Amino acid sequence: QQQVKQSPQSLIVQKGGISIINCAYENTAFDYFPWYQQFPGKGPALLIAIRPDVSEKKEGRFTISFNKSAKQFSLHIMDSQPGDSATYFCAASTQGKSTFGDGTTLTVKP
Amino acid sequence: EAGVVQSPRYKIIEKKQPVAFWCNPISGHNTLYWYRQNLGQGPELLIRYENEEAVDDSQLPKDRFSAERLKGVDSTLKIQPAELGDSAVYLCASSPSARSAQYFGPGTRLLVL
């Protein structure tokens, strides 16, 4: 049973545009929701994370929006740049155990 | 601060051969994770250590996979014998505690022929 569903699978955005990636979860015990960025040949790197007691967190061009009642959260990348082209994974964690989405491949065209 | 170190970075073996992966976590990180990442998918947890104790190994195929974390620092993941379906990237991650952010190493890319 896949507990974290991520969409879209791939995304193409023009430079300067907004990239939006969505995730939905099932287990209400999840209490930590990180987003990771992964470049080819590298391990995932933590981008930004949120706990369910807040509805939004912003760090630079990256924002997480969290909807606890809908069990959904999303990553917004403002002013997308070609250097943002990578695979993005959402994850949901409880008691130290993380479940990852299947990833979104983002391509930002110059 | 040095990140998570993994070796080797790449490994090609014949099926039925043994293989081992090594991980050195970030200094002071008590929690260590081993993940497997198949192509086009997110990482899947194999085992989690708190210090030297394996606290979650429910997804580890114990008939062929084994892991250890001696002295609560470095860790080794072993596969014996390897099967074609074991071809994947094996990622090690560490965190200060179970409820903290995880920091991943670069992974070991395994190809079983």
What integer pLDDT is reported at residue B1 of this predicted model?
A: 64
Q: Which residues of A touch B45 (CB under 8 A)?
A: 97-98
* pLDDT-based confidence at residue A96 (cuts at 50, 70, 90): confident
Cα B87 to Cα A96: distance, rounded to the nearest angstrom: 26
Please, what is the Cα angle at B2 between B1 and B8, to 5 degrees? 175
Interface A:B, Cβ pairs < 8 A: 54
Q: Which residues of B touch A93 (CB under 8 A)?
A: 99
Please, what is the Cα angle at B103 between B85 and B79, to 5 degrees? 25
Selecting from A31, A32, A97 the residue whose C-beta is nearest the C-beta of B48 gives A97
| pLDDT digit string, tens, across residues B26-63 | 999 999 999 999 998 999 999 999 999 999 998 999 99
| The pair of three-digit structure tokens given for residue A36, joined into one six-digit string | 């990771």
Min Cα–Cα distance to chain B from A103, Å: 6
Cα B49 to Cα B28: distance, rounded to the nearest angstrom: 14
Mean pLDDT, residues A82-87: 97
Higher pLDDT, B71 or A4: A4
What integer pLDDT is reported at residue B70 of this predicted model?
A: 83
Kindly state whether A101 is in contact with chain B, defined as any CB-CB distance less than 8 angstroms: yes
Kindly state whether A51 is in contact with chain B, defined as any CB-CB distance less than 8 angstroms: no
Cα A8 to Cα A20: distance, rounded to the nearest angstrom: 9
| pLDDT digit string, tens, across residues A64-78 | 999 999 999 999 999
Residue entry with tokens 């997110």: B42
| The pair of three-digit structure tokens given for residue B7, joined into one six-digit string | 């070796």
Closest residue in A to B97 (Cα–Cα): A96
Q: A104-109 and A10-14: which strand pairing? A: parallel
- DSSP for B94-108? EESSTTSPPEE---E
What integer pLDDT is reported at residue A1 of this predicted model?
A: 47
Q: Do B40 and A103 touch (CB under 8 A)?
A: yes
Q: Do A89 and B42 touch (CB under 8 A)?
A: yes
Selecting from A43, A96, A103 the residue whose C-beta is nearest the C-beta of B31 gives A96
